[in-house]
Structure 1
């Protein structure tokens, strides 16, 4: 039906227009909840808008029972249609084992690369996680250049479990336009 030449031309045509798609990410809200205040508490969890072009996210959690040697993280991405519906990924990882891997799976690595430069989560267990001043420009580069994502309202939902008990959730709401 299609010749080899027409397939190549079609592919080049499609790649050209995919490359021309540009998006803008904007944080809209953040909610941090702890389920065991004796285990962990959030010192702060906020979005800060410095000016029209610079907005960042900061979270600081205080761990009261350290060292923590068994941590699992469940991450799910939701897209808002008529309420928030699952979109693309819902994965659970052992955080201690993930940080030991030389070549982790691409999905987990993509999500981790979205914030690793702005957090103290750069070594294996025991560890603390505290994203500081994660700028929207960095996230914008991740969802436009690295892996283009369609426009819409999204929710990045994470459950943090220590010793197989759910300890906290962090929900980050954002818009891609």
Structure 2
């Protein structure tokens, strides 16, 4: 039986300068490049977004450098390629910080992930909204929180942040307008 891959380490290379970025994702390398492009359009201040704005998306290629078959393996491979890029060349544009892998599957998920864009309180607020969201409402939430509309759908379905979603479903529901006010105000609703 063939192992099903969990994710991959990818490298995005600037063909004009030779600089590159190393990342890990469950998404394909091509999809991650598209997501970096979206971040650049939205004005994010990451090194990748700045490079895309400076040189144009056409200057970049994306490739998969390693496949992983578990969260632990993915994290270790990312760490290896990150360190290799930083130590072997001055062309790696990843930030200088990298949180080493801890032998704990939950160490880098949800709120423990140093790159998490949302807090547990924000997740709970989104999940507590009564009923099904209309597309426009999901877009408003996504823009308010700085994430993609599909991520809002994943949150609401429990595909991500499972433990926090479970806790949120035990809390009283909110109207969309109430939730939006809480999110805009940054109020803790625990």
Q: TM-score, with normalisation over the residues of structure 1?
A: 0.23
- Structure having the higher helix fraction is 2
- Structure having the higher strand fraction is 1
Q: TM-score, with normalisation over the residues of structure 2?
A: 0.22
**Which of the pair has the greater relative contact order for Cα pairs under 8 Å at 6+ separation?**
1
